[in-house]
A and B are shown apart, each in its own frame.
Chain A
C-alpha cells in the first residue's frame, strides 16, 4: 500500500492539498494551466520542496528526500533525453548511476526496449528519433528503474492528435500490465478520462474533486468541475420542500441539495427528448434553435418555453434519428438521478 499524502501551503502555486494515491493505480492530476498540478508533481518527484506539508511514500515521509534518492521516476514534458547518449545509454542511465551489474543492465534495458517496441533503435541518438519514439525512450528510461511511482508530466503534449489517442491507450494497457503506480499530469480531460483509475481536478492550487472518472463526470461537485470535464447545462435553482424550483420549471432530484439556493448541472447527453403529458414532473417544453449533426450524435441548442433570459439556451446531445429543425417544438426530460446539485464556489 503506497500512501501519498501532501498537505501544504506554498503561497500561490498550491494552497493546501491533501491527496491519497493508492498503490498500483493510474492517478491523474487534471486542471487548467497554472492550477499547480505540475508543481505538485515536481514535489512528488523531489524536484521542488513544499513550504509546508509532507509527502509520504508507503508510510515513509519523503518530503525532504532528494530526487536522486527517491524510488520515483519522471517522464518530463520535454522528455529531457540526454542528447549525447544513444537510446540504450539513455535507458541504462538510471541503472548505471546505481552501479547495477553490466549483465543485469543489459537484460533489463533490453526487456524495456522490447516492451516499448524500440528494438533496433539502441544505437540511435535522440535527434535521430521521431517524437513518438522519443516519448517511448523517456518512458522506458523511467520504467527500467522499476519505480514505486511513475510520474508523467503532460507527456502527450508534443504529439499530434492521432498519435496521442493511440499512446493514451498504450499507456493505459502498459500500466495494467505492470501494475505500477502512475501519476499523470494533464490539462486534457479526454486524456484523463481514457487513462485514469481515479483523477483529481485542480484549480488555483486546490483540489476541487477526487474520484473515478465516471463519478467525477456524472456527479461534479461544483460548476468548475462540471464545466471543465466536458459540457454542462447550469441552471440556477431554489429549494422548495422536496422539489427544486428553477426558471425552467420545477424538478425532482434523487439527491436533495444541501442548500436553499444554488445551482444544478446536467450533462447534455442526459437530457432526453420525447413526448410527454404536460404537467409531468421533470418534463419541460422547448423550441429547437439550432441543430448540429456530429455523426454519432446530434447536438441541439434549445430555447426553453420559460427560462432565465431570452437568449438562454439548453444544450442537448441526442442519438435521435429524427431530423430536428430550428423552430421544432420538443419536450425534454431531466432524469432525477442525472440532475446534480452543485456546491457553491
Chain B
C-alpha cells in the first residue's frame, strides 16, 4: 500500500491533459524514509522508534522469562546434578543416557516406558476426545438457536472449571461406597470395597473429561460454519454415512479439529495433576517425572533433558496427526477406527 521506499523517481512520461500551471520547484521531491501509514505521514525511523517503544516491554518480558530460559533448559540438560541438588556445569550426555535407561545399575526400560506411555496416553485420550466431540458438537450445532446457546454454555463451564477440582470430583465418584465401584466389584473387575482408582481406567476418565471441552469448542466453531447444503448434496448422491463424514464433514471441520488436537494432545501428554491423583505412583507420565525432578529430587539437569524429550514427543505426536489426519491420505480410516 505504501509507495515503494527509496525508489529512484522514474522517467516521467508526458501525459495528456492541460498544460502545467505550476512548475514544481526542483529539489523538493518527497524525501526517502518518509512513508504514509494508517493515514499519517511519518518518517520511517520515527515510526520504528515508536513501534519499538510499544513492543519493547512485552517482547523483553517474553525473552527474559521464556525464550532465554527455554534455551537455558537446553544447555542445562547437558550439565550434571551436584550432591545437594545444585548444578555442576560439567558437559556430558549422562542425562540423555539416563533417559534411554542406562543407569548406575545397568539398563532399565523404566524411563522409556514412561515416555512411551505418555505418548500413548496423549494419543489415545486425544482420539477418544475426537470420537466423542464429533457427535457432541454435531448434536449441538443442529439444535434450534436457543437450545444451542444453552448447550454451548454447558460446554464452556467445564472448559473453565479448574482441573484440580474436576479431578477431585472423579476421586469421589470412583470411591468404593458409590455405585460405579460397586458395579465394577459386582462384575469382578475389582475387589469389593476397593476404589476404581488409581489406574489407567481412572486416568483416561480424568483426562478425557478434562480435555473433551478443549476438543469440542474449536470443533464446534468449525462445525457452525459448515456448509449444510454440501451434506444434503452428499446425501442426495446416496453417499453412505461414512462417506458423508469423510467427504463432506471432515474436510470442512479440519481447521477446528487441528486446533482441538493441538490444545488437547500437548497438555494431555504433559499432564501431571490427573495422573498424580488418579493414576497413582505406578502410572507415571513424563509430566510427573519432570515435576519430580524440579521438586523432590531437585535434579534440574535431568528435568531439563526430560523437558526436551517432552518437546520431541509433542513433535512426534503432531507429525503422526499430520500423517494420519491428512485429508488426501486414504489411510485416514485406520486413524479413525483404531480402538
A-B interaction: yes
B50 CB-CB contact with A under 8 Å? no
A19: which B residues are within 8 A, CB to CB? 17-18
- For the complex with contacts A7-B20, A206-B15, 12 further pairs of A-B residues with Cβ separation under 8 Å are A7-B24, A11-B10, A16-B10, A18-B15, A20-B17, A48-B2, A48-B3, A50-B30, A51-B10, A52-B12, A59-B22, A66-B41
**Counting CB contacts under 8 A, is A328 at the interface?**
no
Instruction: Supply 16 A–B pairs (Cβ within 8 Å), ascending by A.
Output: A5-B21, A5-B22, A10-B4, A13-B3, A15-B13, A16-B15, A18-B15, A49-B35, A52-B29, A53-B24, A54-B28, A61-B25, A65-B41, A206-B15, A207-B15, A210-B18
Is there a chain A Cβ closer than 8 Å to B9's Cβ? yes
Interface residues of B (CB under 8 A from A): 1-4, 7, 9-18, 20-22, 24-25, 28-30, 34-36, 39-41
User: What separation, in Å, do the CA atoms of A66 and B170 have in the docked complex?
Assistant: 64
Chain A 172-204 interface mask (CB, 8 Å, partner B; 1/0): 000000000000000000000000000010000
Q: A49-B34, A51-B4 known; A9 and B20 CB under 8 Å? A: no
Chain B residues contacting A171 (CB-CB under 8 Å) are none
Q: Give every chain A residue within 8 A of B35 (Cβ-Cβ).
A: 49
- B3: min CB distance to chain A, Å: 5
CB distance from B61 to the nearest CB of A (A): 30
Interface of B is mostly: loop
A86 at the interface (CB under 8 A from B): no
Is A17 part of the contact surface with B, judged by Cβ < 8 Å?
A: yes
Interface residues of A (CB under 8 A from B): 3, 5, 7-11, 13, 15-20, 46-54, 56, 59, 61, 63-68, 200, 206-210, 221
Complex A-B, nearest 8 residue pairs according to Cβ-Cβ distance, in ascending order: A52-B9, A9-B10, A16-B12, A54-B24, A66-B41, A210-B17, A20-B18, A16-B13
CB distance from A93 to the nearest CB of B (A): 14
- A298→B174 CA distance, assembly (Å): 87
* Minimum Cβ distance to chain B for residue A33 (Å): 16
Q: A16-B10, A49-B3 are in contact. Are A207 and B30 (CB under 8 A)?
A: no
Which residues of B sit under 8 angstroms from A200, Cβ to Cβ? 17
Cβ of A15: which chain B residues have Cβ within 8 Å of it?
Answer: 10, 13
**Closest chain A CB from B15 CB (angstroms):** 5
Q: Is the CB of B30 within 8 A of A20?
A: no
Q: Is A61 in contact with B24, judged by CB distance below 8 angstroms?
A: yes
Min C-beta distance of A223 to chain B, whole Å: 15
Give the nearest-CB partner of A68 in chain B.
B40
Q: Are A209 and B16 in contact (CB under 8 A)?
A: yes
Interface centre among B10, B11, B40 (most CB of A within 10 A): B10
Report chain B residues within 8 Å CB of A208: 16
Among B2, B10, B13, B40, contact of A52 (Cβ-Cβ < 8 Å):
B10
A47–B3 CB distance below 8 A? no
| Residues of A contacting B3 in the complex (Cβ-Cβ under 8 angstroms) | 10, 13, 48-51
- Which residues of chain A are within 8 angstroms of B30 by Cβ–Cβ distance? 49-52, 63-64
Contact with A64, one of B1, B10, B14, B41 (Cβ below 8 angstroms): B41
Shortest C-beta distance, B132 to chain A (Å), equals 39
Instruction: Kindly report which residue of chain A lies nearest to residue B11, judged by CB atoms.
Output: A9
Q: Within the assembled complex, what's the spacing in Å between the Cα atoms of A19 and B15?
A: 9
Q: Is the CB of A51 within 8 A of B16?
A: no
Chain B residues contacting A50 (CB-CB under 8 Å) are: 3, 30
Q: Are B21 and A20 in contact (CB under 8 A)?
A: yes
**Chain B, Cβ-Cβ closest to A22:** B18
Rounded to whole angstroms, the CA-CA distance of A66 and B36 in the bound complex is 9
Q: CA of A258 to CA of B11 in the docked complex: distance in angstroms? A: 27
What residue in chain A is nearest B14 (Cβ atoms)? A16
The answer to whether B22 touches A56 (Cβ under 8 A) is: yes
Residue from A16, A17, A46, A61 in contact with B28 in the complex, judged by beta carbons closer than 8 Å: A61
Known: A9-B9, A61-B24. A49 touches B16 (CB 8 A): no
CB of A8 within 8 A of CB of B12, answer: yes
| A68 to B25 CA separation, bound complex (whole angstroms) | 24
A45's closest neighbor in chain B, by CB?
B39
Q: Is A18's CB under 8 angstroms from B20's CB? A: yes
Specify which chain B residues have a CB less than 8 angstroms from the CB of A10 in the assembled complex.
Answer: 3-4
Q: Which residues of B contact A68 (CB under 8 A)?
A: 39-40
Q: In the assembly, what is the distance between CA of A61 and CA of B18, in Å?
A: 18
Smallest CB separation, A129 vs chain B (Å): 23
